[in-house]
Amino acid sequence: MKASIEKYPSIVGRETHMISNVVLQMRWNLLRFTLALVLCAIVFCLKVVFSQGGVEAQKQSSATASRSSPIRLILSVNKNRVRRGSTFKLTVYLENWSDKPIYVGNQLPGNNATSSLHYIEVETLNSSSAAVFIGSAVVGTQWEKGATPEQKLAQAYTLIKPGGVHGIFESGQMLLPQGGYILTAKYHEVEAAHWSEKELNALPYPVLTQKLISNTVKVTVIK
């Protein structure tokens, strides 16, 4: 037995060393596993915190947007893939998603015509993001001398109640060349934008004076 130990000391030592390495490796793996669990727990907690913060931020952002834009502009088309020369229908409308009535322009000329009162423009961009010019006209209005904002409201504005809509509907032949296009509607208020704050505050209900931009719609024209 003694000779055996003396004859193979390196084997015993090597085995002992290997076992020690295994034990150390097991301890190290256990430590790494524990650290990984701790890190996962920290990351999970941070995700929950940031997620809740993100939701609250989105809610606050939506609430702010609702307060600053009580009217939203919606653009829709009857089909996103249309054959050139066929009938194409486009609808643009203002929607009151606030809890109070609001005045908007009631005379909204179509066909991209502009007005000295208020109008809706439909911007068209091609696949190169270049604006496509679509013929337009200018509609002018002359008021009687001394006309007050109240008188102008009665003639050129309509009151949209909460949940109500008001807009334009156009239908015609698609004349754009073959290709892809992006459509965006814009509402412009010209007349009321020049009224003083005192005149606006004296009205029974607020008037939409800010510029609105709608959602975008992609349309592909085929042969």
pLDDT digits 0-9 by tens, 73-127: 999 999 999 999 999 999 999 999 999 999 999 988 877 788 999 999 999 999 9
* pLDDT score at 139: 79
CA 104 to chain centre: 22
Q: Are 163 and 96 in contact (CB under 8 A)?
A: yes
Q: Which residues pair with 186 in a beta bridge?
A: 121, 213
Q: Which residue, among 128, 119, 223, 217, has the nearest Cα to 176 in the 3D structure?
A: 223
* Predicted TM-score (pTM) of this structure: 0.68
Contact 115, 125 (CB under 8 A): no
User: Tens digits of per-residue pLDDT, 9-29?
Assistant: 322 333 323 333 333 344 445
